[in-house]
């Protein structure tokens, strides 16, 4: 590879709000695509009504009541994007898909062939637009480095032509006025960007201006990567290696595969194998070539890349998306079942444990969680999955309530789930420790004194006699060895219909079992069990 640290001149094709096009047949419809209750893409009509990416589902529905809400499905996006990627295969062999909706390739060869960056960009825009039958705006950016090219593509405005070309050597200057948030397009560093913003480093130019050594020592590998990008350098030449060919993994598919689910099964196993092989060498993959061969000898290939490292799950996802794209593509290719599948790591970096955690880590776990939640909501109903929130109240059952998961944002910390969420004291609340079992249906019991008479509590909270035995249905009578109470509860005395006046007791039996009992109007029940 070239020794100089010069960013690769790159062309990026970007279709804004791709998930919308992938999900919706009608470009003019109001539609949002949501993931984990947050809008990830919105159609023009929805945006016109004030819907923005990042809004909660309900807020989006409030702003645009007729909006159609579709769940995000990366496989669907990839399937729809494959014809676009395929349309460019005639122009260059090096098309790399970053995410469905965005692809990139190095312009060096094709630019010379088509007579310059402008000509190439125009041609690419036309080709892609044709592939989409003009149904969707497409933007093309050319600049030094993939990051600058992506921002150039985003900046390209239809009225100024679909393409924006940043002259060679001007990448850093082009990036400088962009806000630091732009880093989030390619790096998952929300905390870092937040810190920088609060430090007053609001633009990429400010960040690039910082001495590199200082950034690395203060912000670690994440800071180093972000600093490189902000300075207009490529992330990748840092430690990119062309891996040895024997790291590629492949398998024969016998019988030939025509169905996506079978292919995906093979893809998962291959991805795991690839990951294990790279891991054994201390490597992680940043670009993978998915290659398939059909019965008739056709060879299909597509590169996927990620600015970070692709872990086994991410590779498996991309392979599955790609296979879906091929096997269900309207372009009538392939013409026969797949007989062979190969994954070739095109670029690898030294895997650093910490960096991998930084790329996936906790957020990936949370992603798994909300995927499971979405599945359960589909199976059991939207309100079947709940999360606890702390409220004010006196009884153990009142102080934590269940909130449907659809109404909260799982991807963020929820202060309402913390015990100190309710600061003000509630007089008369049951003191800690809290009981570990709080039945929803009160279990009626009989509480008697040593003579076997029912224990009564007077209006002035006086006990007729110490409770001696608790009779529970279906259990032997429990002898009370210790008890406390009565603790009168006089709730909503201002409201005649909802006014409650009862008393609570704690009782312990000879085996150490403890109950929270309540009595109202001569009836006793178990409010909670300390088990």
Name the site residues for other proteins (rule: CB under 8 A). 362, 365-366, 368-369, 371-373, 375-376, 379-380, 384-390, 396-397, 399-400, 402, 405, 413-414, 417-419, 431-440, 463, 466, 482-485, 506, 508, 511-514, 528-531
* Shortest CB 235 distance to other proteins, Å: 27
Q: Is the dihedral of CA 469, 470, 474, 475 positive or negative?
A: negative
Buried b / exposed e along 58-97 (16+ C-beta atoms within 10 A):
ebbbeebeebbebbbebbbbbbbbbbbbbbbeebbebbbb
* Shortest CB 402 distance to other proteins, Å: 6
Beta carbons within 8 Å of 520's beta carbon, 6+ residues apart: 500, 501, 502, 503
* Shortest CB 57 distance to other proteins, Å: 18
Residue 390 or 469 having the CB closest to other proteins: 390
* Shortest CB 470 distance to other proteins, Å: 15
Phi and psi dihedrals of 102, rounded to 5?
-135, 130
- Bridge partners (DSSP) of residue 9 are 144
280's torsion region: left (phi>0), alpha (psi -120 to 50) or beta?
alpha
Residue 184 or 401 having the CB closest to other proteins: 401
Q: How far apart are the first and last CA of the chain?
A: 67
Residue 184 or 434 having the CB closest to other proteins: 434
Separation of alpha carbons 473 and 58, rounded Å: 47
* Shortest CB 412 distance to other proteins, Å: 9
H-helix or E-strand containing 126? Answer: helix 117-131
Of the candidates 468, 466, 467, the one whose C-alpha atom is nearest the C-alpha of residue 479 is 468
Residue 68 or 366 having the CB closest to other proteins: 366
Residue 90 or 365 having the CB closest to other proteins: 365
List of E strands, 20-122: 31-35, 38-42, 68-71, 96-99, 102-106
Q: Is the dihedral of CA 261, 14, 241, 359 positive or negative?
A: negative
> What is the full DSSP assignment across 251-282?
EEEEEEE-SHHHHHHHHHHHHHHHHHHHHHTT
Beta carbons within 8 Å of 514's beta carbon, 6+ residues apart: 435, 506, 507, 508, 529, 530
Of the candidates 106, 48, 103, 112, the one whose C-alpha atom is nearest the C-alpha of residue 77 is 103
* Shortest CB 422 distance to other proteins, Å: 11
3-state secondary structure of 70: strand
Beta carbons within 8 Å of 340's beta carbon, 6+ residues apart: 250, 251, 252, 253, 292, 293
Residue 2 or 365 having the CB closest to other proteins: 365
Separation of alpha carbons 387 and 379, rounded Å: 17
Cα→Cα distances 171→3, 205, 477, Å: 19, 11, 82
125's tokens: 């825009």
What distance lies between CA 185 and its chain's CA centroid?
15
* Shortest CB 523 distance to other proteins, Å: 20
Residue 217 or 402 having the CB closest to other proteins: 402
Preceding omega of 503 cis (within 30 degrees of 0): no
Cβ contact 38:167 at 8 Å: no
Residue 254 or 531 having the CB closest to other proteins: 531
> Token match 């991807």: residue?
411
Residue 306 or 504 having the CB closest to other proteins: 504
* Shortest CB 311 distance to other proteins, Å: 15
Residue 44 or 426 having the CB closest to other proteins: 426
* Shortest CB 323 distance to other proteins, Å: 22
* Shortest CB 508 distance to other proteins, Å: 5
Beta carbons within 8 Å of 388's beta carbon, 6+ residues apart: 400, 401, 402, 403, 417
> Token match 């299909």: residue?
300
Residue 216 or 390 having the CB closest to other proteins: 390
Residue 195 or 410 having the CB closest to other proteins: 410
3-state secondary structure of 58: helix
Residue 160 or 353 having the CB closest to other proteins: 353
* Shortest CB 435 distance to other proteins, Å: 5
* Shortest CB 2 distance to other proteins, Å: 39
* Shortest CB 384 distance to other proteins, Å: 6
């Amino acid at each position: 590879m070239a020794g100089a640290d010069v960013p690769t001149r790159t062309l990026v094709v970007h279709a804004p709000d791709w998930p919308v096009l992938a999900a919706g047949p009608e470009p003019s419809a109001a539609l949002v695509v949501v993931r984990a209750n947050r809008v990830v893409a919105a159609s023009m009509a929805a945006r016109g009504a004030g819907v923005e990416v990042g809004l909660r589902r309900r807020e989006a529905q409030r702003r645009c009541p007729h909006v159609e809400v579709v769940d995000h499905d990366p496989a669907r996006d990839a399937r729809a994007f494959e014809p676009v990627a395929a349309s460019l295969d005639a122009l260059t062999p090096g098309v790399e898909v970053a995410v469905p909706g965005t692809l990139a390739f190095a312009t060096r060869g094709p630019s010379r062939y088509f007579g310059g960056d402008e000509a190439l960009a125009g041609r690419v825009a036309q080709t892609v637009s044709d592939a989409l039958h003009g149904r969707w705006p497409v933007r093309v950016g050319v600049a030094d480095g993939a990051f600058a090219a992506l921002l150039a593509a985003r900046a390209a405005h239809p009225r100024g032509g679909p393409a924006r070309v940043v002259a060679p050597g001007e990448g850093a200057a082009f990036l400088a006025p962009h806000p630091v948030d732009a880093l989030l397009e390619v790096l998952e560093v929300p905390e870092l960007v937040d810190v920088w913003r609060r430090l007053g480093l609001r633009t990429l130019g400010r960040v690039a201006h910082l001495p590199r050594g200082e950034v690395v020592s203060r912000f670690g590998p994440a800071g180093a990567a972000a600093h490189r990008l902000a300075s207009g350098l490529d992330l990748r030449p840092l430690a990119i290696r062309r891996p040895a060919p024997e790291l590629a993994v492949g398998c024969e598919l016998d019988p030939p595969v025509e169905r996506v689910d079978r292919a995906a099964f093979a893809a998962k196993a291959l991805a795991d194998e690839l990951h294990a092989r790279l891991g054994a060498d201390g490597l992680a993959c940043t670009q993978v070539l998915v290659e398939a061969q059909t019965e008739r000898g056709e060879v299909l290939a597509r590169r996927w890349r990620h600015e970070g490292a692709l872990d086994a799950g991410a590779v498996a996802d991309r392979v599955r998306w790609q296979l879906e794209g091929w096997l269900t593509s309207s372009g009538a290719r392939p013409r026969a079942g797949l007989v062979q599948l190969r994954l070739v790591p095109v670029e690898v970096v030294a895997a650093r444990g910490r960096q991998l955690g930084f790329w996936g880590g906790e957020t990936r776990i949370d992603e798994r969680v909300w995927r499971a939640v979405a599945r359960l909501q589909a199976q059991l109903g939207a309100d079947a999955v709940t999360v606890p929130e702390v409220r004010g109240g006196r009884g153990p059952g009142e102080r934590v309530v269940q909130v449907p998961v659809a109404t909260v944002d799982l991807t963020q910390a929820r202060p309402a789930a913390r015990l100190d969420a309710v600061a003000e004291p509630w007089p008369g609340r049951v003191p800690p420790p809290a009981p570990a079992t709080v039945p929803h249906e009160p279990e009626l019991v009989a509480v008697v004194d040593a003579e076997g008479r029912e224990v009564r509590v007077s209006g002035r909270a006086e006990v007729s006699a110490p409770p001696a035995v608790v009779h529970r249905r279906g259990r032997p009578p429990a002898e009370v060895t210790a008890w406390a109470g009565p603790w009168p509860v006089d709730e909503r005395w201002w409201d005649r219909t909802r006014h409650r006046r009862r008393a609570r007791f704690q009782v312990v039996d000879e085996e150490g079992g403890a109950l929270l009992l309540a009595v109202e109007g001569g009836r006793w029940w178990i409010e909670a069990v300390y088990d």
